[in-house]
Structure formats: structure tokens, C-alpha cells
Structure 1
Amino acid sequence: MILEIVSYTILVIYVTSLLLILFYSLTQLNLLINYLTYKKATENEPKFNLTQPEEVPKVTIQLPIYNEEYVVDRLLKNIIKLKYPSDKLEIQVLDDSTDESITKTSEIINKFQQEGVDIKHITRKNRVGFKAGALKEGLEIASGEFIAIFDADFLPAPHWLQKTVPYFKDPEIGVVQTRWGHLNRNYSLLTKIQAFALDMHFTIEQVGRSAKGHFINFNGTAGIWRKACILDAGNWEGDTLTEDLDLSYRAQIKHWKFKYLEDVETPAELPVIISAARTQQFRWNKGGAENFRKTVRNLLASKNISNKTKFHGFIHLLNSSMFLCAFLISVLSVPILFIKQQDFIPNWIFNLTGIFILSTLILYVCYWFTYKNIQGKSWKNILSYTKTFLTFFTVILGFTLHNSFAVIEGHRGKRSEFVRTPKFNIKNISDSWRGNKYISKSISRNIILEALLVLYFAFGIFSAFKLNDFSLFPFHLMLVIGFGFVFFHSIRSRI
């Protein structure tokens, strides 16, 4: 009796997780259809004519930084190259640094000030609200009608403002967001995987949602806000780790429009070591769950918002929780092998595991169009793409434990400090990340658990031979490789 109860409980959790992932993959397929059928109609949109001085609005650029010794010089030298009338441009360096980099930053800013650049070095005595707090404090004294924001590793092209500011002639537009590019996409397998994943968000997801008027999000950087929109939506708040997603939804619930420019690329540096990627992943996924907890009721209760937009917003806010579903499927797949041997379980139930294959195939198709459009590939590259997708999928499975802890903390409302992603100023294969003083050297609980999971899924592979059931063998092999990759590189980056 107890065996039956435990078996059915495992099956219910397992199948429910499979169905949730299928549901998520179907929404991605819907976004792909929106993306492929979207026809850009920018010609008839009202735009500022920046060749007419009376139409050029005042812009403030905010650069939130924290201990950015390796990239601050590159950042500031790039920002002052932006082409825009000098009397209509203000730069705020919002510096929360606690190390000696603050002195280096001050020296660079002083040099630019002497050259006539309107650039201010704004520091705080504490980090209340972290990045959101710094942006909010800078906003209080910002003279610009529009606020462009760039993180320390982003390098906008000289004409970036000329390509984004004109769209604000439409008084309903609150944000213009651009697509992230990748300075070091081909530096390593890790950077290739990250670029592969981010490209999906910045093509299929962002365009697919905006094409039908659904909510999208300002991505924390490489975008520009109407100051009035920030204030109307309640200003920046630091009660979640993704303040950008939080403010985006509050603004759109108040019926501000967001404009997404897929064709305007803003390149940035991807984390080159796995400890930095883990930090970033934890913040993004926990922040997503925190925003689901904070925002979903207001979204669903909002008036004059279509049910389709509410549905896509609900799924968008719940995106990070798919890591928890994937982790549950992974962990429960080993006992499923043994439950299949029991006579009291109908065989048709186990056929439902094919749902995961269907979900994977749907995602395979979605990522293909991203790969093809961003990297300029054709059907001749399908084998190369398949290898890339399988590698991506395998490594992402290795992140599911780490990201699941983040999601659980977010849904529980457990608060934690905003931990920045260390920057390295690395673009070429010959550049080295070793010696970076911002790298964490501690071995976390999660890393130890990931090592144990390698052994656990290796047992699943062994069990396939013992039970003569190889239905989950490929999945368990991917899990061993994925968790092994994450564990090995997590240790490697700390020695």
C-alpha cells in the first residue's frame, strides 16, 4: 500500500511537471508564430526629426556601476563617443563602488569634465535599494526628459541615441529597448551557450510579445525610458532582484507602450567563467519568481487589458519556474525506472514521458529560427545547429538545481542581497580571466549537491542496464554530462 502511494505521488508530480513544460513550450511556439508573421510598420510611426534643433529632447544617460575596475575605463570612453548635441546630453555615473575603483573612476570623469563633457560622478554612502536605489537617486537630479541606461559591460554604437530617441515623439511610448549583442560570443563553450539562450529572448520572445501588443520587459540596460513613465509607474523599487522587470510591468499595467528595436544591437560582454554565470542566473531567476509573487495579482485584476495579454504576462512572469519543473523531472526520472517495473501501474501512463520529447522538439524549432536569423545561417547548417542545441540543452539541465533554489527562494519571499556579475573585459580567446579580484573562491552547497547528482544520474544509467530499460538512458546521460560540466567548471573557476 505504501509503495503504491509513493509511486502514484511521484508519477503525479512527474507528469504535472511534464505538462507544465509542454504548456510553456507551446507558448514559445505561439511567440514564434507571432515573430514569423510580424510585419514591421515603422514608416508611419511619429518620430522626432533630430536634424531640427527644436525637436531634439534632453537625454540623461545613467551608468550604474559597482566595483568595475576592469571595465569602467572602456565604458566611459565608449559613452562619450555617442553622437548627440552636447547641450542636450547629460551623463550620470552612479557609482556604488566600495573598493579603490572609485578613485580610478573619479580621475577619468575629472578628465572628461575638463574637456567640456557634461558628466557627473554620483556616489552614495550606502547601497540601499542596490541598483534600483542608485537609479532612483540619480533620477531625482536628472535634467533629461529621457533616461538611457547602460550597465558597465555594454558598449552602444555612436549613433545609438539617434536610432532610439526619435520614437518617443509618440507620447504613449514609455520605453525603447534594443537587442543585446555579444562581444565575446565565441570565447568559450560557456559564452556560446549563453549567447544562444539570450538570442532566443531578444528575438522570438521580445518580438513575439510586442508584435501582438503583449507585455515585454526593459532588460535593465541598453534601453531608454521616458522620465515621466518611470515616475507615473511608481519609480524604481529595490524589493526584487530584477527591478527592471518589476518597473516594466507596473508601467505597462498603467498602459504605457514599450517599443522594441530588434535591428538595433547593443553589444556587451558575457560572463566567461561559470561562477559569474551562476551569479547572474541566480539573480535573474530569483527576481523572476519574486516578480511573479509581487505582480501577478495586479496583472490579472487589471482592467482594459486583453485576456491574451494577461495570459502571456502570466507565463512570462512564471518563466523561471520552468527550471524547477525540469529539475523535478530529472530527479524523479530515476525512481520512474523502478516504478515502471511494478504491475499495479498501467503502462499507458509511462507513455506520457513522450511529452518531454515533444516539448524539446518544439523548443528545437523555436531556437532554430533564432540561430538562423541572428547568426545568418541556412538549412545547410542544420547539423551544426543540432549539435549546438543539444550542447545548450545538456548544460542548461546542469543549471537546474542552482536555478531551482533561486526560484524557490523567490516564491517564498526570502530576501537576499543584489550580487553583481563580475566583469572581465575579455573578448578574445587569448584573454585570461585569472587574477580577477572579484571572482568568488568559496565552494557553495549547490556545487557539492551537483557533484552528488552526477553520481545519482550515473546510477540511473547503471540501472538502465540492470533493468534492461533504456527509455531514459539518453536523458540520464545528458544529465550526467550537464551536471558534470557545471560542477567541473565551478571548481575550476575557484582554484
Structure 2
Amino acid sequence: MKLLLIFSVVVYSLSMLFILFYSIAQAHLLYRFRLFMKEKQPEEPPAPEVWPTVTLQLPLYNEKYVVERLIDAVAALDYPTDKLEIQLLDDSVDETTELIKDRIKEYPQLHWQLVCRSDRSGYKAGALKYGLELSRGELIAVFDADFVPAPSFLKRTVPYFTNKDMGMVQTRWTHLNKEYSLLTRLQAFALDAHFYVEQVGRNSLNAFINFNGTGGVWRKETILDAGNWQDDTLTEDLDLSYRAQLKGWKFKYLPEVESPAELPPIMSALKSQQFRWTKGGAESAVKHLATVLRSEASFSIKYHALAHLLNSAVFVAVLLASLTSIPLVWAKVNGLLPDIVFNVGAVTLLSFIVISLVYFQAQSQEKASVRKLTGGFLLYFPLFLSVSMGLALHNAVAVWEGWSGRRSPFIRTPKFNLEARQHKWQENLYLSFSMPYTTYVEGLLGLLFLGVAAWSVAKQEYGLLIFHGMLALGYLLVFYHSFQSYRKA
């Protein structure tokens, strides 16, 4: 029993210290974001005398619900038609290809290039690399199937490439279906913090930022100089971003330029997206962390790169801290641990204060009254934290696979286009019918932490009651919505 307690104290302490380490980086990004917003922002660069040729790459795989909307949006782009090449990188094995052929006939004035490979080797990275070999553009813009770029997108991003050192320009994602459900609102809550505070903060520091896989423009030379698209991670965007910046290319983030996109409306779709992002982040950390730490970058930039590449490990830390907290509470109730252990541990709760400030700042960028902003934050932030904790097991498995080098296929996130009101999500043909074993474990963990919380109340031990209550709520919500989405698929 003594060894178990020692083990639990060590693991819990290390996990909370890692979360504190991550929150310090977040606090610095928040500080930099606020400085950036107070500064007078430079005007957008003037239009070039001669617009460069742009290849717009649209990687597609079985996108029957959204591909026509995407084609209509890119056809409306305000850019010289003789300088715009649109590549439809279509790996589909369903009716998507025929939908594409029929739709592009409505826009004969544009230069369409339908590229169909014989196999999906390399998945999205493979498709982008294959298309790059066929492209004639000096610049390469990328949009996923669920995005709806504004007509002004290219004319607001391309002028930044008059700087010959500019390798990539990324825009801010916004959300087409934010108000669809509680799940989509919580996702928007999380993504806004990344696309406001994190990206702006890092870019203002000249630290490493990442191309977000879509809604951005690359210089073709940059992609080739950095070693082209590679498929040895599930986040080819993050991987290429680090390789390019390590080569000395400059990146620019434009929070004022919006790229609307669809959020996964159901838990099974969200989980497939989260697994890919989380595992790919862990794979990219294995691939690049040592190189970054050996580079000549400053301590501040290395610190932020460390937090950036290891941010998926927060889920591992939350999972370990939650499990080891159970014997700690039991030990405190039975007088086996001194109070100083818990008093010192309380310092790490500063992490959650910092994180709450980051998310509040992101939400405050939305145009809303103080009353509405505060009320919405007080409602959604605890729910967001709870659901994030409830995803800890699922995402920790992804991180472990990434760290251990276990390969897995690129599982696309199914798109729905539900705002068109043409069908219900249950009718989506791309949903998975198989529910992973971790879903059942999530349900059991929810019941476990609910029991621990009830036992703590009975013993009048309230030190970790809120933590365990949020874990119970998070795991049970994730289990319920997962079971619902897989069951009805």
C-alpha cells in the first residue's frame, strides 16, 4: 500500500507539473496576444502589379454532401481567371466524382483540373504531393471539402508574398454550424482559443506556428525546399510547417481573414478528427522536437515549440492525474498523507486559472454584450473542460500510438452540410458502424468518478470534489453522445 501511495503521489505530481508547464506557455501567449491587439495593426500590403499564378488544391475523398458547395465557393473567388488553376484532387470511390464533373460544367470560364489517382497512397499528403507535380502555380492555396472561402480570400492573402521570405499565410477558421448543437458550440469554444490567442501569440513572437491543413496559402518553392508533403505523420500540415520554418521561411497569420468551415456535429465524427490531430501531433513531436531543441532558436521560441509539439500530451497528463487522484483522496480520508502534500498540489490549480483566462479572452473577441459574454463563458467553459477531460482516454490512446510509432490509416472526418437542411445526420453514408472499446471504458470511468465524488461527499472530503465531479460529467457525456452517434449510424 505504501508503494502504491508513493507511486500515486509521484505520477499525480508529475502530471500536474506538466499541465502547469503548458499553462505557463499559454499565459505568455495570452500576454503577447493582448500586446498585439493594443498595437496599431499595419495596413494590408498593396496588390502586386502583376498577380501571380495560384493553384488552388482541393483534396477530396467521398464528399458527396459538400463538394458542390465547395465548387460554388471557389468559383466565386475574385481573382484573375487566367492566373487561377483549380485542382480537384479526388480520391473518391463513390458518386462524388460524377457530382464534380457535372458541377464544374457550370463554370466553363475557370481552369479546372480533375485529378483522380489509382490509389490513396499517402492519403491527403499523397494527394497534395501528386497534385503539386502537376501544378503550374507559383502559390498553392489549400481548402478542405467542408470549407467555404470568401470571394476576397486570395486577394487578401496573396499580396503578403511580395516578401520573398514569406513561405505561408494562414487565415482564421470560423464556423458555419456553430449554433447547431451543444457539441458544435463547445468545439467552436476550443478552436477560437487556438485561432485567436495561440496563433496570434506565437506569430507575434516569431515562434513556430502551424499551417492548419486548410485555409492557407503556400509558396510552392517553400514546400519543395522543405522536403515536400510527407505522409509519415497524420498531421502533414504540422510536419511541413516545422520543416519549412526550420529552413528559415517566414509564416504570417491573419486573424482578420476568415475561412468558414463545418464543425463535426456528432461525437463519433469529432472523435475521428481528434484522434487524427492528437496522434499526428505526437508523431510530429517525435519527428521534430530534438531538431528544434538543437537549433539556434532562442529559449523562448524553444519553450513555445516544446509546449506546441507536446500539447497533445496534456490528455495523457489529465488521464494519469485523474486515476492517481483516487488513492490520494482515500489516503487523505484515512490520515495516511499529510495535508502539505495537498497544499503544495493546490499551486498547480493556477494552471486552470490561466487556461480559463485564455478561453475568456478568445470569447471576448466575439461581438457581444458583457452580460451575454460572461453568461456564455460561465456556462460553456465548465462544460468544455468536462468534455475535454472526458476525451482524455480516447486522445491518450492516440498520443501513445504516436509516441510508440504505431502506424494507422488517415481516417477522414465525415462531412454533413446540415445547415442545408437536406438530410439528417443519421442518414450520412460515411458514418462508422463500429463502436471502439474505449467508449465502454469511458462509460465505466464516468461511473467510477461519480462514485468517488459521492464517497468524498459522504466522508466530507471536498478537496478534489470539483475535479472528480467534472470527470464524471465529462466521461458520461462523451459516453452518451458516442453511444448515440455510433448506435444510430
TM range (shorter): over 0.9
Contact 1:15–1:352, Cα closer than 8 Å, also in 2: no
Root-mean-square deviation over aligned CA pairs: 1.6
1:63 corresponds in structure 2 to 58
- Return the TM-score normalized by structure 1: 0.95
Q: How far off is 1:341 after superposition?
A: 3.4
1:436 corresponds in structure 2 to 428
1:405 corresponds in structure 2 to 397
Q: How far off is 1:230 after superposition?
A: 0.3
Using the TM superposition, name which of 349-358 and 313-322 deviates more: 349-358
Q: How far off is 1:443 after superposition?
A: 1.5
Using the TM superposition, name which of 381-390 and 211-220 deviates more: 381-390
Aligned partner letter, 2:21: F
Contact 1:218–1:248, Cα closer than 8 Å, also in 2: yes
| Cα distance in 2 for residues equivalent to 1:231 and 1:430 | 42
Secondary structure of the residue aligned to 1:84 is coil
Contact 1:62–1:92, Cα closer than 8 Å, also in 2: yes
How has the CA–CA distance of structure 1 residues 387 and 338 changed in structure 2, closer, same or farther, with 3 Å as cutoff? same
Match of 1:250 among 230, 238, 243: 243
1:316 corresponds in structure 2 to 308
| Cα distance in 2 for residues equivalent to 1:388 and 1:466 | 29
1:94 corresponds in structure 2 to 89
Aligned partner letter, 1:475: F
| Cα distance in 1 for residues equivalent to 2:367 and 2:210 | 23
2:42 corresponds in structure 1 to 42
Q: How far off is 1:401 after superposition?
A: 0.8
1:81 corresponds in structure 2 to 76
| Cα distance in 2 for residues equivalent to 1:430 and 1:384 | 30
Q: Which runs of 5+ in 1 are unaligned?
A: none
Aligned partner letter, 1:404: A
Q: How far off is 1:196 after superposition?
A: 0.5
Secondary structure of the residue aligned to 1:264 is strand
| Cα distance in 2 for residues equivalent to 1:361 and 1:327 | 19
Deviations 1:211-235 (A, max 9, x none): 0111100000000000000000000
Secondary structure of the residue aligned to 1:414 is coil
Q: How far off is 1:470 after superposition?
A: 2.1
| Cα distance in 2 for residues equivalent to 1:152 and 1:459 | 44
2:225 corresponds in structure 1 to 232
| Cα distance in 2 for residues equivalent to 1:264 and 1:187 | 23
- Return the TM-score normalized by structure 2: 0.96
Aligned partner letter, 1:334: I
Secondary structure of the residue aligned to 1:374 is coil
Deviations 1:137-190 (A, max 9, x none): 000011000000000001111011000000000000000000000001111000
Q: How far off is 1:343 after superposition?
A: 4.2
2:374 corresponds in structure 1 to 382
Contact 1:179–1:222, Cα closer than 8 Å, also in 2: yes
Q: How far off is 1:458 after superposition?
A: 1.8
Match of 2:328 among 330, 336, 354: 336
Deviations 1:106-150 (A, max 9, x none): 2323443xx231001001111111100000000001100000000
Secondary structure of the residue aligned to 2:406 is coil
| Cα distance in 2 for residues equivalent to 1:266 and 1:437 | 26
Aligned partner letter, 1:306: S
Deviations 1:342-393 (A, max 9, x none): 5453220012332343211111111111001134453663233111111111
Q: How far off is 1:253 after superposition?
A: 0.4
How has the CA–CA distance of structure 1 residues 226 and 366 changed in structure 2, closer, same or farther, with 3 Å as cutoff? same
Secondary structure of the residue aligned to 2:171 is strand
Contact 2:363–2:373, Cα closer than 8 Å, also in 1: no
| Cα distance in 2 for residues equivalent to 1:250 and 1:28 | 23
Contact 1:181–1:265, Cα closer than 8 Å, also in 2: yes
| Cα distance in 1 for residues equivalent to 2:191 and 2:413 | 16
Contact 1:184–1:428, Cα closer than 8 Å, also in 2: no
Q: Is 2:186 the partner of 1:193?
A: yes
Contact 2:47–2:155, Cα closer than 8 Å, also in 1: no
Contact 1:187–1:428, Cα closer than 8 Å, also in 2: no
Using the TM superposition, name which of 429-438 and 380-389 deviates more: 429-438
Matches within 5 A, 1:320-469: 320-378=312-370, 381-427=373-419, 432-469=424-461
Q: How far off is 1:307 after superposition?
A: 2.1
Secondary structure of the residue aligned to 1:493 is helix
Q: Is 2:476 the partner of 1:484?
A: yes
| Cα distance in 2 for residues equivalent to 1:290 and 1:221 | 20
| Cα distance in 2 for residues equivalent to 1:490 and 1:446 | 10
| Cα distance in 2 for residues equivalent to 1:15 and 1:33 | 27
Contact 1:327–1:400, Cα closer than 8 Å, also in 2: yes
| Cα distance in 2 for residues equivalent to 1:431 and 1:99 | 18
How has the CA–CA distance of structure 1 residues 353 and 428 changed in structure 2, closer, same or farther, with 3 Å as cutoff? farther
Q: How far off is 1:462 after superposition?
A: 2.7
Matches within 5 A, 1:98-109: 98-109=93-104
Using the TM superposition, name which of 278-287 and 430-439 deviates more: 430-439
Aligned partner letter, 1:186: E
Contact 2:58–2:143, Cα closer than 8 Å, also in 1: yes
Secondary structure of the residue aligned to 2:87 is strand
Contact 2:8–2:325, Cα closer than 8 Å, also in 1: no
2:67 corresponds in structure 1 to 72
Q: How far off is 1:31 after superposition?
A: 0.1
1:278 corresponds in structure 2 to 271
Secondary structure of the residue aligned to 1:319 is coil
Using the TM superposition, name which of 288-297 and 449-458 deviates more: 449-458
Q: Percent identity?
A: 47
Aligned positions, number: 485
| Cα distance in 2 for residues equivalent to 1:267 and 1:354 | 40
| Cα distance in 2 for residues equivalent to 1:111 and 1:13 | 61
Contact 1:199–1:374, Cα closer than 8 Å, also in 2: no
Matches within 5 A, 1:207-218: 207-218=200-211
Q: Is 2:290 the partner of 1:292?
A: no
Contact 1:454–1:483, Cα closer than 8 Å, also in 2: yes
Q: How far off is 1:428 after superposition?
A: 6.9
Aligned partner letter, 2:388: I
Secondary structure of the residue aligned to 1:93 is strand
